[in-house]
Structure 1
Amino acid sequence: MEIQEVAIDIHVPSPENADELQIFMKKKLDEVPGEPFKPRPVTIFRLPTWLHEINKDLCGPKVVSIGPYHHGKECLQAMQKHKWSMLRDFLARDENSGFEMYLREMRLLEAQARECYSETVDMGSDDFVMMLLLDGCFILELLLKLQTEEWDLCSVDWVCGDIISDLCMLENQMPFFVIHKLFAIQGKCDQNCEGLCPLFELISVKIWIADTFKFSAPQISCSEIHHLLHLYYKGVLPDRQFDREQSDLVTGKSYHWRLQIFQWSKFFSKSSNPVVESATSRDDESTSSEDIKRINIPCVTELHEAGVKFRRKIQPRDMFDISFQHGTMEMPFLGIDDMEKILLWNMVAFEQSQPYEFESERILSSYLALMDSLINTEKDAAILGRSGIFENYLHNDEQAANFFNQFSKIFLINYSDHYFYGLYKDIKRYSESACNKSRAQLKHDYFSNPWSSISVVAASILLILTFIQTYYSAAK
């Protein structure tokens, strides 16, 4: 057999082409933000494309762009032009500082602001600085106009509502230190605030209007806030230690250590260490990862059939103050409309973007995982509605159920550190008891609709009459 040689044409670039490639790659390397081996302080993230495809109305702004991710979009150009009048009005409030000072301060913050975005911002220096000044002054002037009730295009109800929704989106943020710097130049707060920043109060009073989320300005330094969405997130989450151990629930921290003990015990399984054996022999507090992943609870309809009662908690500490005792679940009020949908979606997206530390629990992700388990269909939402717990302002209960059902599919939940893990165990234990399972089965089979209930009642009456007739016949 003859072996033919095949000539492979390998293109060797000329020295001129090699130089061009070298120059091109060197330019790209120089454009990479940050320094080698130094973590970037990224706080504003771009959501994956597939998340936009699932629910684009909750990810992208409808009226106004803030920051570089949606800058220049055709559908947002009307408000982009209005930003110039907002800039003029904001500068007119300051008789001491000239326009040059504002522009100079923004140039000083350019490099720091660029590093806050997860994607490289493909904007020239002048364009980026102009964007910081326009967007930052727009936000502040909007707040000030709302405070003094000055009429403006942004004061129109539907426009204002859309703007507030846009300001809640994770991709539509700018670093908080930029807004704070502009606010401080006008002397409305100190350059380095100690204690409660006056900007917190202005934002909390004039923008964050939602019945479900009880916002209170966080008692932390303004330098710790990443952006407006982060401020709202900190103001909504409970400002308290996770005290589940005191309420006979399992804390994430202690559970984490029991999980480690379980893993260590498998490693040292050949040894007969009595301490390890006792730590892993408690069935009630099993720490197997597989057991954790299997933890789930029935939906509201199934729990209702098992005898669980649902009540609205009158004075909850916060929206996460949910309890289950003696077959009764008490929950704070939850109302869902288009605004709350955007807030929930973007707050949990922000929470999911943060580095996970075992001391800090993803409480909002845990809350939405719980609601996803409870509300599977419109019937579940209707039962919570009749109990005064849930108010649906969407078109129908099916839309509300679909909204909650999507979270478990797109956001990650660490079940080894679930905030409501103890609640899950209590509900599961109650619903799986023999008595409650029999009651649920009976209710599902014979009392699920009026006709089956009538049939059961009629059959019972017929049985009683038959028994009476038999009794009297035997007595004769």
Structure 2
Amino acid sequence: MDLETDQWVVQINEKLKSHESSSMEIQKWEKHCIYALPSCVADLKKKAYEPQTVSFGPYHHMKEHVKAMEEHKHRALIHFLRRCGKPLKFLIESMAKVEQGLGDCYKELDDQWKGKKEKEKENNDHSFLKMMIVDGCFMLEVLRSADRDNNNGGDYADNDPVFSGHGKLYVMPYIKRDMLMLENQIPMTVLEILMEFEGNNNTQNPEFLNELILKFLCPNIPIHRNFGKCLHVLDLFRKSLLQHEPTHPTIIPKKITSSKHHQEQDEIIIPSARELQETGIIFKPSKTHSLKDVSFHGGILRIPSIIIDDSTETTLLNLIAFERMHVGAGNEVSWFVFFMDNIIDNEVDVVILHQKGIIQNALGSDKAVAKLFNSLSKDLAVDREEGGLDIVQVSVCRYCKKPWNKWRANLIETYFRNPWAIVSLVAAIFLFVLTIIQTVYTIVPFYHEDNSNNPSPPAARAFIPRVPRPHL
């Protein structure tokens, strides 16, 4: 083998000569925020990561099962341009300024979409740029459909299959589900440029777009904070689930050495909800819906109330995938799923959490909810050094190890479970006291009678010697 002409050797030598610094590598990885999942993740549940109704971005563009929505995408573009009153040429010029940056957001982007590499692709038709414009306009129109007083906003026909009242009821829920898939994202910059192009006065408010998106995704959840610049819709939705800081104090374990800390963590297996309840722990819903608002204090474990429906599994899997793929995203959602899987073993645990107002089951079957959380944590990795819920687990496990807590819980469960049990306990105590009193009154007279029949001998008289009187 001629090493001088070997293609692989030549490529490695060229990379060595380029002197690519670590700072350049950091900048390269920082640009990525939308990922094609590896097969080891996607194969576990393919339908959870692949859009079923509409595609956004290049990863699933023009696939057979989503091709039917392309017609409606182009209709949305026509409506958008007609409403703006500006030519398409100006929109293309505005979007072309950030085309390279938009492409850098995608990891492992195929060469057919790399429109800026003119030397590698002479007949560049800017297919990536066109796709961003069409998909962005459609997404913006979908978002605005939830913000209009009337269903079609006066711009679409009453029998429109997507933007009418009928479409809002039967089509929008599926579009919403697809918008929360990691592989089906477009950069938030696309929506920002579109709003700026049409001359929207609200573009000066950085939170206007965030509020528009959240109003569509979760209209019943109030917004209590500013989210700032977000990467895409999934990133914003994740931040909305974590928007509150914990509102209740948490027992902080005593500081221990690092080696002992890791050893203790490896042995931590938090019991199920049923076992925790038997130990005397009380479940209560948190005052906020933030997944970070899980706390344990004074025997009370507070968990945010969550709704489990048909879209929960898909949404949580994509949020976990985003935290897994995007460096620096955090692992709060993964930790919450890991925690819920620990305390839910079967349908009995689901029933307990449902009765306490923590789980709102829209699936109908408690067994299905238990199976859902047990499957979500498969191959799930969490960082214990950064996970706040690890402190809660340590505190709960230490509480369970104290025998008095279990004894007290058994006493309450046995004798104070209902009013009749309390009445029975009070009656038993009363009868026991009466029995003692009766026994005492029976023993005391017998003791006095025994003393009267056997008197004690009188005390002996003192001996005084007699002195004879003298004779006179």
Summarize deviations over 1:209-268 as a string: whole Å, max 9, x none.
276xx35275244xx31111111122221354x788x64436xxxx9xx78x746xxxxx
Which residue of 1 is the match for residue 218 of structure 2? 209
Map residues 38-437 of structure 1 onto 2, 5 A cutoff: 38-40=27-29, 41-95=31-85, 97-124=86-113, 125=115, 126-148=126-148, 149-150=151-152, 151=158, 152-155=160-163, 156=167, 157-189=169-201, 193=204, 195-205=205-215, 207-209=216-218, 214=221, 216=223, 218-221=225-228, 224-240=229-245, 247-249=250-252, 262=258, 287-313=260-286, 315-316=287-288, 318-356=290-328, 362-437=331-406
Task: Indicate the larger mover: 103-112 or 63-72.
Answer: 103-112
Q: 1:391 to 1:190 in 2, by over 3 A?
A: closer
Would you say the 8 A contact 2:323–2:330 is kept in 1?
no
Question: Which amino acid is 2:217 matched to?
Answer: W
Which range moved further: 325-334 or 434-443? Answer: 434-443
Q: 1:434 to 1:239 in 2, by over 3 A?
A: closer
Question: 342-351 or 363-372, which moves further after superposition?
Answer: 342-351
Residue 413 of structure 1, CA deviation: 0.6
Secondary structure of the structure 2 residue equivalent to 1:415: coil
> For the Cα contact (< 8 Å) 1:173–1:228, is it kept in 2?
yes
Q: TM-score, normalised by structure 1?
A: 0.71
Code of the residue aligned with 1:83 in structure 2: it is K
- In terms of Rg, which structure is larger? 2
- C-alpha offsets along residues 357-376 of structure 1, whole Å, 9 cap, x if unaligned? xxx85222221111111111
- C-alpha distance in 1, partners of 2:279/2:342? 16
Aligned counterparts of 2:55 and 2:10: Cα–Cα separation in 1 = 37
Aligned partners of 1:219, 1:443: CA distance in 2, in Å? 46
Contact 1:307–1:439 at 8 Å: present in 2 too? yes
Letter in 2 for 1:384: L
What is the deviation of 1:331? Answer: 2.7
Asked if the contact 2:224/2:243 (under 8 Å) is kept, the reply is no
Closer, same or farther: CA 243–441 of 1 in aligned 2, 3 Å: closer
> Compared with structure 1, are the counterparts of its residues 371 and 219 closer, same or farther at alpha carbon in structure 2 (3 Å cutoff)?
same
- CA change 1:22–1:312 in 2 (3 A) is closer
After alignment, is 365-374 or 288-297 more displaced?
Answer: 288-297
One-letter amino acid of the structure 2 residue matched with residue 318 of structure 1: S
Cα shift at 1:381: 0.6
Quick one: distance in 2 between partners of 1:392 and 1:132? Answer: 38
The 1:93/1:217 distance shift into structure 2, 3 A limit, reads: farther
Question: Size of the alignment, in residue pairs?
Answer: 387
Q: Does structure 2 retain, via aligned residues, the 8 Å contact 1:204–1:215?
A: no
CA 1:400–1:317: 2 relative to 1, 3 Å: closer
Q: Which residue of 2 aligns with 1:268?
A: none
| Contact 1:216–1:236 (CA under 8 A) maintained in structure 2 | no
- The verdict on how the C-alpha distance between 1:220 and 1:336 changes in structure 2, with shifts beyond 3 A counting, is closer
Deviation at 1:180, TM superposition (A): 0.7
Write the letter of the residue equivalent to 1:373.
N
Work out the CA distance in 1 between the residues paired with 2:294 and 2:284.
Answer: 10
2:314, 2:222 → 1: CA distance? 16
TM-score of the superposed pair, with normalisation by structure 2: 0.72
1:279-319 alpha-carbon deviations (Å, 9 max, x no partner)? xxxxxxxx532222222210112112223332334x33634
Greater mean alpha carbon deviation, residues 381-390 or residues 133-142 = 381-390
Give CA-to-partner distance per residue, 1:362-399, whole Å, 9 cap, x none. Answer: 22222111111111111111111122221111242222
Deviates more, 1:344-353 or 1:136-145: 344-353
Task: Find the residue that maps to 1:391 and give its secondary structure.
Answer: strand
Contact 2:251 2:297 in 1 (8 A): no
SS in 2 for 1:376: coil
Alpha-carbon shift at residue 411 of structure 1 (Å): 2.5
Q: 2 CA distance for matches of 1:377 and 1:210?
A: 32
Q: What SS does structure 2 have at the residue aligned with 1:153?
A: coil
1:188 maps to amino acid: N
Q: Distance between the aligned counterparts of 1:368 and 1:168, measured in 2? A: 17
Cα distance in 1 for residues equivalent to 2:146 and 2:407: 58
Residue type of the partner of 1:70? H
Write the distance in 2 (CA, Å) between the matches of 1:391 and 1:71: 36
Work out the CA distance in 2 between the residues paired with 1:200 and 1:384. 32
Contact 1:301/1:379, CA 8 A, preserved across alignment: yes
Contact 1:292 1:416 in 2 (8 A): no
The worse-fitting range, judged by mean Cα deviation, of 292-301 and 182-191 is 182-191
Q: 1:413–1:123: structure 2 CA closer, same or farther, 3 Å change rule?
A: same
Letter of the 1:306 partner, please give it: T
Matched residue SS, 1:147: coil
SS at match of 1:366: helix
Question: Deviations along 1:32-66, whole A, 9 cap, x unmatched?
Answer: xxx96442410001122232222223211110000
Q: Structure 1 pair 289/439, CA: closer, same or farther in 2 (3 Å)?
A: same
Q: 1:243 to 1:303 in 2, by over 3 A?
A: closer
RMSD, aligned CA: 3.8
Residue pair 1:189, 1:198 contacting (<8 A) in 2 also: no
CA distance in 1, matches of 2:333, 2:311: 17
Q: Per-residue deviation at 1:22?
A: 8.5
Give structure 2 stretches of 5+ with no counterpart: 15-22, 116-125, 153-157, 415-434, 436-472
| Structure 1 moving runs of 4+ over 4 Å | 436-444
2 CA distance for matches of 1:39 and 1:308?
Answer: 49
Deviations 1:85-121 (A, max 9, x none): 11111111102x2110111222222211111011123
> Percent identity between the aligned chains?
28
